[in-house]
Amino acid sequence: MPDSTFADDSLSRLRLQMAEHRLDACITTYPVHVAYLSGVFPPKDRLVAVLVTPESATLISPHPPADLPQTMSAMTYEDYSIDYVVNPAANFAGAFDRAVLTLAATVRRVGLEPAYLALEQWEAIQRSLNVEHIEDINPVLRQMRMVKTAAELPLIEHAEEITDRMYAAIAGNIVAGASEVDVFLTTLAVVKADPSKPAELDGDYVSGPRTEAIGGPPTTRRLQVGDLLIADLFPRLATHCADCCRTYSVGKPPQALIDRHALLEEALATGEKAIQPGLPTRELYAIVRSVFEREGMAQYFPHHAGHGVGILPSEEPRIIPGSDEILAAGMVITLEPGLYLPGQGGMRLEDNFLVTENGCRCLTHYPRRLTVL
């Protein structure tokens, strides 16, 4: 299981930051960061926590995962019994209490995520620890997540490979008459056939006039000849996501649509060539947009030019004009030029890229053309 390997790296990185910030412990209950630090995406709607010190780490979860980072141990709590009515939140609180108590002897300075830590857990921390200083570690963890470790890359690449297969499945199975829901189910079948747990899929599935609104969930609307179909897919396989987009034409497209899609391809390729460490993301946005500006089409490109991809399908950095973020080697980002013309439909093209020392490597392999269904 490669999942636990990447979390070993996450913990090592966090401990470096803890040393720099002189923190004796970090505690998070935010599922995204529990996944990042434990290597296991928490089961849906379950309360979980990770407590990290320089020497130890504890995952609190109702069920112990098979693989955890080497320095991490699991503390479980009961969330089901037929012998009495179980209150999982109370049992989680009890486990959290016990875990915090083990920190009491040495911990004075604590990193927390106040936007996510529950009052009940804060009271346990106050009760058991002699807290001299608390610090919001959410920005530290978000910063860390932007630059992927070597161990995260195969996980993202697996999600990319699944995504390539989803695009092929649409091309191979969907024709006029199928509904947007059918397109969704066709792609979900690819995700669910993977043994990863979770193997989940969200996305935009919009066709015909709906493409002008950029995105949305699938409906029962049936594809008609002459429609465009935007399929923006963000699967999660185990812990990591991809986020790619292809536009399909239902039936042979008129030359005007082929030409417009060629602009997306050019904008994507232009952005791709510019990606390198040190490039401000606002400049990357401007570079992608410049292709549309040249054609007098920029007003039809209303959204970001891309964003980071990792444990979340959309995370920092943001490829927008208002960002101060700078590309760094190890970031994984999307570029997603799109054009949405009132009365004529919308189209979008999105690939994922690893920022390398010298430029970038494209992680998406499905052809970039407007595919005909």
Residue type, 286: A
Q: How far is CA 217 from CA 226, 292, 311, in A?
A: 21, 27, 21
| CB 310, CB 241: distance < 8 Å | yes
Name which of 114 and 367 has its Cβ closer to a copy of itself. 114
Name which of 71 and 143 has its Cβ closer to a copy of itself. 143
- Tell me how far, at minimum, the Cβ of 110 lies from a copy of itself, in Å: 12
- Tell me how far, at minimum, the Cβ of 55 lies from a copy of itself, in Å: 26
Name which of 261 and 318 has its Cβ closer to a copy of itself. 318
- Tell me how far, at minimum, the Cβ of 12 lies from a copy of itself, in Å: 26
Binding positions for a copy of itself, rule: CB under 8 A: 44, 47, 81-85, 89-90, 92-93, 112, 114-120, 122-123, 138, 179, 181-182, 184-185, 188-189, 192-193, 195, 197, 202, 217-220, 285, 302-304, 316, 318, 320-325
Q: How far is CA 260 from CA 6, 102, 145, 204, in A?
A: 41, 62, 35, 20
Name which of 25 and 112 has its Cβ closer to a copy of itself. 112
Name which of 192 and 294 has its Cβ closer to a copy of itself. 192
Q: What is the layout of strands, in order, in the sheet containing 351-355?
A: 315-319, 306-308, 332-335, 351-355, 360-362
Q: How far is CA 240 from CA 114, 136, 157, 221, 349, in A?
A: 25, 24, 9, 31, 21
Name which of 43 and 226 has its Cβ closer to a copy of itself. 43
CB 252: neighbour CB atoms within 10 A? 10
Name which of 254 and 302 has its Cβ closer to a copy of itself. 302
Name which of 167 and 205 has its Cβ closer to a copy of itself. 205
- Tell me how far, at minimum, the Cβ of 256 lies from a copy of itself, in Å: 27
> How buried is 202 (Cβ within 10 angstroms: 0-12 exposed, 13-18 middle, 19+ buried)?
middle
- Tell me how far, at minimum, the Cβ of 360 lies from a copy of itself, in Å: 21
Q: How far apart are CA 221 and CA 181, in angstroms?
A: 8
Name which of 184 and 300 has its Cβ closer to a copy of itself. 184
CB 331: neighbour CB atoms within 10 A? 25
- Tell me how far, at minimum, the Cβ of 361 lies from a copy of itself, in Å: 25
Checking DSSP bridges between strand 25-28 and strand 109-112, what pairing results, if any?
parallel
Checking DSSP bridges between strand 240-241 and strand 306-308, what pairing results, if any?
unpaired
Checking DSSP bridges between strand 332-335 and strand 351-355, what pairing results, if any?
antiparallel
- Tell me how far, at minimum, the Cβ of 114 lies from a copy of itself, in Å: 4
- Tell me how far, at minimum, the Cβ of 289 lies from a copy of itself, in Å: 10
- Tell me how far, at minimum, the Cβ of 257 lies from a copy of itself, in Å: 25
Q: How far is CA 172 from CA 166, 167, 168, 373, in A?
A: 10, 9, 6, 8
What residues form DSSP beta bridges with 179? 222
